[in-house]
Structure 1
Amino acid sequence: MSSSHLIKMTRTQLTAMVVGGMIGAGIFSLPRTFAGATGPLGAVVAWLIAGLGMYTLARVFQLLAERKPDLDAGVFAYAKEGFGDYPGFLSAFGYWIGSCIGNVSYWVLIKSTLGAFFPVFGDGNTVVAILVASIGIWLFHFMILRGVQQAAAINKIVTIAKVIPILVFLAIMVFAFRTEMFTLNFYGGDLEGGIFAQVRATMLVTVFVFLGIEGASVYSRYAKDRRDVGSATITGFLVVTTLMVLVTLLPYAVVPRADIAAMRQPSMAALLEAVVGQWGAIFVSVGLLVSVLGAYLTWSLICAEVLSAAARTRDMPKVFARENANGVPSAALWATNIIIQLIVISTYWSRDAFSLMLNLTSAMSLIPFFLVAAYGLQLTRKGETYDVWPQDRGRDLFLCVAATIYTAFLLWAGGIKYIVLSAVLYAPGSLLYLWARREQGQKFIARPSDAAILVLAIIAALVGVYWIATGYIEI
């Protein structure tokens, strides 16, 4: 089915894709995560850095959507246009696998949340938990096969439903606000290290909670109006950032920092229980389940769309471009859910499945994000497309420089361990690129830089396997 026959998505639905993708598991665990690392002052600094950095990235997505409307495959299309076929493939593959891993983290969190009420689920990786997650994976699979438009409509309803518990939580926190408690917690109390050390400790968390900012960009071919992609990205970003900052800061005015840091996850539930009793914990837990299932729906759609888009542009084998009668990329959806199923089964042998999935998701997404920012920089430096609205070039150049510096900083903050671990997936994933190139009768290595990147990926993957085998990296 060609994109001209696709049912189009409104600005509201695109915004819901952004909000739905960003509000998942992360926001419900923010109070404890931040309290363990810093006080209100450090939290404000961290959100300023993360907020400004991600805002520049959101603006880069917006300007690319407006200036390069023909590149409608989202994240990886920009990497391919700017840096060639193989980097484009790696960006598509990394983003796709990262999104699959993120979806597994949702199932782990759902089961560990239920584990607080039903011990048979444990920490989300018991046999029963894996069986229930597997049923869920395939229920969602067959629902999405019925149509993207239907799934997007459900996502809009779920997005509204999951924001309500967060708003109730914030209202109760405002009502319970104590200025003297906030002042007592302000500098982080007895935490070691200065503000810089405290802020750096929160950086990878902010990456995970901001994933999904590109949701509208991924779905740009479905947009009724291309300009809606940019405005949906900025609107979704502002709404979610406001919620996340308030969820982080208000608890400091209610409970001592050390007590928040010691709470079980999801810490939003534990905080509400501390203020209003057990109904608060149940209320937030239900909200979390709705939220995570909604985020899972959004990310299932994004995963399949990314793989399908890469196949349409010949960066992946053409089988993944196949769509069913409802316009759903069915082959890509099957591949996505088979991978998710395999990773869910593998969590049985993991010590801390949730943390591993979070960190790997962030690591796999950072390289595609960096390449988007770098392509924006390349475009504005050359002045390409600036024969229209040339007066915007200076502003856009500044935004692209800032976004490139920020994403490079995140790669450094994440550490070498996770870059090496991501190479363990990137190197064998390159076989899909080989398959796609053979279909087109093209050489696997098109330019010397591709060969250099492939060699680097293989070396890093071998180091990663060695570090896992020797226990230096714990799975």
Structure 2
Amino acid sequence: MSTESDQKISRLALTAMVVGSMVGAGIFSIPARFGAATGPFGAIISWIIAGGGMLMLAFVFQSLAVRKPEIDTGIYGYATAGFGNYAGFIAAFGFWAGTCLGNVTYFILIKSTIGAIVPMFGDGNTVSAIFFSSIILWAFHFMILRGVKEAAFINQVVTIAKIIPLILFLIIVAFAFQKDLFVASFWGGGAYSFADIFGQIRSTMLVTVFVFIGIEGASVYSRFARKREDVGWATVMGFVGVLCLLVLVTLLPFGVMFRPELASLRQPSMAGVLSHIVGPWGAWFVSIGLIISVLGAFLAWSLLAAEVLFAAAKSKLVPEFLARENSNGVPVTALWVTNILVQVFLLSTLFAQEAFNLALDMTSAMTLIPYVLVAAYALKLTKKGESYADDAAALARDMKIAAVATLYALFMLFSGGFKHILLACILFAPGSIMFIMAQREQGNTVFNPIEKGMFIATSVGAVVGIVALATGQIAI
């Protein structure tokens, strides 16, 4: 019989969760996204900003794991503790909806990859692509319902599929690297002005957030950690390793292709870079690895999305019926609702001009909102001095870290443009019906005055967003 200690997760396993959560579809798309936005100089500045800001956020998760060990529901638990039930709902719903949107990027990328040899799949958002993506979606759905929660062999295959193409890519690109090409693209082809460079950097902000989504991976499973300190250590070390990988994948391609060539690559652009160097087999190798990796990641994130909704129901933030489990212990209602939303998002990509980029940017925008709330909660703790006793040095340090993390998350959210905030409101406003239902189930007052203001602002944003879509002021 297994004991409770047997079920605990080691520090190394927690680190692997962080790395595995972050290294997904996004890294395979980086060369073209950065090639279209900026050159090596702008890319370096972007990663300094993103790396510094996300490191502060990693430190926030590290600090909260130790100082608030009783909060073991992860990202939305902190928002609830700091700002009340509606803020907790916003964090949970934002993370859940962002995860559903992230799953859509997986399908688009798979079909875009196959579309290189099967034209009917196009860039991943044709009728044929959506039809076959839907088959995969519901095949996985019914497989999960049968109780496929944690299959070790799937995790091993996925890990290998991620690591081998990435390592091979970096080695080959490093050997093919040409200094002259790198220098020619260094300033991004624009003027050497601050405004031009800032514009280049700003256009990379949401993609840098997307590739870091999953930094909270250890926090989500914090109650299974052998030591609370392991959660923070795994978060920081996993983040540092992934940051190094991302910087190399971003910068090295500028030394093998001109910036306009990188920008014109179809997704997954990493396959295009390798194909440029070694021929078609390079694209095949990366593409096969990507498809296996992304399918595995989709399975993991489908479970995570359903678990977030299930846990929110357990915490009375959404209706109780979402906490139902089937005989196999699967959160059945939450899984159905999750995959129905993914299906709706998939169908909506038919009307998107750049479906992959839109889904990627919206995933980032939705996930940044919970990040803002978590960082703001850490800042609130330091302002009150709660859990610090007489440790003035730690208080001063953590206050600075939390302040920078909060400002960074807000900057990233608004740098993506009000378009994505308004589109997020279109999801949050009707989604709030779930919160209203949950509060009425418990006989509670639905909103306090502050929460009522938040809900009104969200609803106004949704109306503005819908009008902007209808009039063509916002194009998707």
Q: 2 CA distance for matches of 1:224 and 1:308?
A: 24
Give the match for residue 174 of structure 1. Answer: 174
Residue deviations 1:63-82, cap 9 Å, x none? 11111111111111111111
2:166 maps to a residue whose letter is I
Contact 1:19 1:159 in 2 (8 A): no
Q: CA deviation at 1:357?
A: 1.2
Change (3 A) 1:57 1:380: same
TM-score normalised according to structure 1 size: 0.93
Deviation at 1:432, TM superposition (A): 0.4
Residues 111 and 323 from structure 1, CA distance in 2 versus in 1: closer, same or farther, beyond 3 angstroms?
same
1:234 corresponds to 2:202: no
Q: What are the residue-to-residue correspondences of 1:85-234 with 2, within 5 Å?
A: 85-145=85-145, 147=147, 150-151=150-151, 154-190=154-190, 194-234=196-236
State how far apart, in whole Å, the 1-side matches of 2:156 and 2:70 are: 27
Structure 2 contact 65–219 (Cα < 8 Å) conserved: yes
Partner AA of 1:320 in structure 2: L
Contact 2:202 2:416 (C-alpha < 8 Å) held by counterparts: no
Q: Residues 198, 126 of structure 1: CA spacing in aligned structure 2 closer, same or farther, 3 A cutoff?
A: closer
Distance 1:160 1:64, change over 3 A: farther
Q: Bigger CA drift: 74-83 or 210-219?
A: 210-219
Contact 1:7–1:149 under 8 Å retained in 2: no
CA distance in structure 1 between the aligned counterparts of 2:217 and 2:148, rounded to whole angstroms: 14
Deviation of 1:336 (Å)? 0.9
1:371 is aligned to 373
For 1:386-412, what per-residue CA distance to the aligned partner results, in whole angstroms no more than 9, with x for missing partners? 138654222211110110110111122
User: Greater CA deviation, 49-58 or 383-392?
Assistant: 383-392
Structure 1 residue 232: deviation in Å?
Answer: 2.1
1:244 corresponds to: 246
Show the counterpart of 1:474. Answer: 475
The residue aligned with 2:45 is 45
2:304 matched to which residue of 1?
302
1:9·1:149 contact (CA, 8 Å) conserved in 2?
no
Match of 1:417 among 416, 419, 426: 419
Equivalent residue for 1:343? 345
2:451 aligned residue: 450
CA 1:280 to 1:46, structure 2 compared with 1: closer, same or farther past 3 Å? same
**1:459 aligned residue:** 460
* Residues in 2 aligned to 1:164 and 1:81: alpha-carbon distance in whole angstroms: 42
Q: Compare 447-456 and 290-299 and name the one that shifted more.
A: 290-299
Would you say 1:25 and 2:59 are equivalent positions? no
Give CA deviations for 1:255-304 in whole Å, capped at 9, x if unaligned.
22232222222221111111111101111111221222232123212211
Distance 2:161 2:338 in 1: 26
TM-superposition CA deviations, 1:277-332 (whole Å, max 9, x none): 11011111112212222321232122112111111111111222233455433322
The CA distance in 1 between the partners of 2:200 and 2:254, in whole Å, is 16
- Normalised by the size of structure 2, how large is the TM-score? 0.93
* Deviations 1:201-229, CA, capped at 9 Å, x for gaps: 21111111111111221222343443332
Deviation string for 1:339-358 (max 9, x for gaps)? 11222233233333222211
AA aligned to 1:186 is F
Closer, same or farther: CA 329–227 of 1 in aligned 2, 3 Å: farther
RMSD: 2.2
Contact persistence 2:161–2:290 (CA under 8 A): no
Q: 1:5 to 1:307 in 2, by over 3 A?
A: farther
| Aligned counterparts of 2:155 and 2:337: Cα–Cα separation in 1 | 22
Other-structure match for 1:353 = 355
- Matched residue, 2:265: 263
Relative to structure 1, the CA distance from residue 164 to residue 106 in structure 2 (aligned partners, 3 Å threshold; closer, same or farther) is same
Contact 1:148 1:301 in 2 (8 A): no
Q: Which runs of 5+ in 1 are unaligned?
A: none
State the SS of the aligned residue for 2:463. helix
Asked whether 1:63 is paired with 2:63, we answer yes
- Asked if the contact 2:149/2:303 (under 8 Å) is kept, the reply is no
Correspondence 1:4-15 to 2 at 5 A: 7-15=7-15
User: Contact 1:311/1:317 (CA < 8 Å) preserved in 2?
Assistant: yes
Distance 2:333 2:152 in 1: 19
> What is aligned with 1:285?
287
Q: 1:231 to 1:190 in 2, by over 3 A?
A: same
Aligned-pair identity (%): 55
| Letter aligned with residue 472 of structure 1 | Q
The answer on whether the counterparts of 2:109 and 2:267 sit within 8 Å (CA) in structure 1 is no
Range with bigger deviation, 362-371 or 143-152 = 143-152
Identify unmatched segments of 5+ residues in structure 2. none
- Which position in structure 2 is the counterpart of 1:429? 431
What letter is aligned with 1:459? V
- Structure 1 letter corresponding to 2:184: L
- The one-letter amino acid paired with 1:454 is F
Indicate yes or no: 2:86 matched with 1:79: no
Q: Structure 1 461/117 Cα, relative in aligned 2: closer, same or farther at 3 Å?
A: same
Give the letter aligned to residue 451 of structure 1.
K
Checking the alignment, whether the CA contact within 8 Å between 1:151 and 1:297 is kept in structure 2 is no
Counterpart residue number, 1:332:
334
How many pairs does the alignment contain? 472
Aligned-partner Cα distance in 1 for 2:440–2:74: 25
Looking at structure 2, the residues matched to 254 and 125 of structure 1 have their Cα atoms a distance apart, in angstroms, of: 30
Q: Which residue in the other structure is 1:318 paired with?
A: 320
Write out the 4+ residue segments of structure 1 that deviate beyond 6 Å after TM superposition: 3-6
Decide whether the 8 Å contact of 2:112 with 2:268 is kept in 1.
no
Distance in 2 between the 1:12 and 1:452 partners?
A: 44
Q: Which deviates more from structure 2 when the two are superposed, residues 47-56 or residues 380-389?
A: 380-389
Name the aligned partner's letter for residue 420 of structure 2: Y
Counterpart CA distance in 2 for 1:131 and 1:297 is 19
